Structure 1
């Protein structure tokens, strides 16, 4: 088994506004998704840290932007190691979140995606059993419009048969190709586990690539 490049992730802070996030330097990848899509479980599986991101039977507990630091990434082609982070964005779409808080996070997430220069890409979490929701589409549209790389993680793949999961991923890839989206997609299960190494490799690729624009 190859070493986990995301191992050693540590909680840094939880921010109510983007101004409270760590200094905008180095590189970071943001994790976004609806409240019940399995985002916390995916983060825990990718980092190999079961308790890193809180999981709950009640979705929607992530109501702040949570920053996790990573150990300095190994240098590539003679480059010096650099600071790297994962940012867990608030779970979106949970009905019990008050309307004013939902409005706040819509504004803050929009500002974060537009202004954060260290942001290298988005990992979008969606349940493989259901069609993409409005929020998922909005995030894909934003990434496409701003040339921000997006990796779609279709979670809970263990709830489908292997052939069903493969067909769903293949259909999404065909759709992205037809729409000329520069997004990648894979099946994933934090409990099986399925697709964990592939997802880790993609996150590492995102962290190491330069920001366009």
Structure 2
């Protein structure tokens, strides 16, 4: 299953001005400067689809993108989902509480968005054990429903030495390991998302 088209839909400040929850959503969240916008652009093969702020941590809007999937079987119709680009967190400091660091609207989206199916937590491969990321992981596991999954995607692996990358993979065997620069790991992430959303029968 491949992503064949991606279009920006709208930005929202809260659930109140978000699109109707009539389609499965995949939320991308991570510490500011983790490479979230670059990953979304590479994953969708759409340069400039997700725009990064010139000041990390400045953007506070929830951005929605309409994603079209297709596999090689011409008899299988197009399938659709929404990718959701969430504001970065924890820039230049580690907060004591995730809910203090993120605004109420962002937390409300994560806790109460009925159509949200996948959390993609982006983690800088060079700093995999930061307190803020551990807090995020704990928070997500606390609020996660039975029909939701968490994908830990480690970015910037091209900046690691090979032996350090192997250690990271051993420490996080369920992780996905990404390099935007070298386009590594994108197919793994695309497959993990489409398998969960659409099932093996459509792949």
Q: Deviations over 1:11-38 (max 9, x none)?
A: 1111111211110112010000011111
Residue 123 of structure 1 corresponds to 120
Residue 157 of structure 1 corresponds to 157
Q: CA deviation at 1:208?
A: 2.6
Asked if 1:86 is matched to 2:86, the reply is no
Residue 166 of structure 2 corresponds to 166
Rounded to whole Å, the distance in 2 between the matches of 1:135 and 1:106 is 15
Return the TM-score normalized by structure 1. 0.78
Q: Is the 8 A contact 2:4 2:69 kept in 1?
A: no
Structure 1 residues 111 and 73: CA distance shift in structure 2, 3 A: farther
Q: Is the 8 A contact 1:27 1:208 kept in 2?
A: no
SS at match of 2:48: coil
Q: Is the 8 A contact 2:4 2:70 kept in 1?
A: no
Match of 1:200 among 179, 190, 202: 190
Q: How does 1:23-38 map to 2 (within 5 A)?
A: 23-38=20-35
Q: Which has the higher strand share?
A: 2
Residue 186 of structure 1 corresponds to 176
Q: CA deviation at 1:135?
A: 3.3
Q: Is the 8 A contact 1:30 1:121 kept in 2?
A: yes
Structure 1 residues 203 and 12: CA distance shift in structure 2, 3 A: same
Rounded to whole Å, the distance in 2 between the matches of 1:79 and 1:7 is 14
Structure 1 residues 31 and 18: CA distance shift in structure 2, 3 A: same
Q: Deviations over 1:99-137 (max 9, x none)?
A: xxx858432222112211111111111110013333322
Q: CA deviation at 1:86?
A: 0.1
Residue 6 of structure 1 corresponds to 3
Residue 40 of structure 1 corresponds to 37
RMSD of aligned residue pairs (Cα, Å)? 2.7
Asked if 1:139 is matched to 2:129, the reply is no
Structure 1 residues 61 and 50: CA distance shift in structure 2, 3 A: farther
Asked if 1:49 is matched to 2:46, the reply is yes
Q: CA deviation at 1:66?
A: 0.3
Rounded to whole Å, the distance in 2 between the matches of 1:84 and 1:40 is 18
Tell me how many residue pairs correspond in the alignment. Answer: 190
Rounded to whole Å, the distance in 2 between the matches of 1:138 and 1:162 is 28
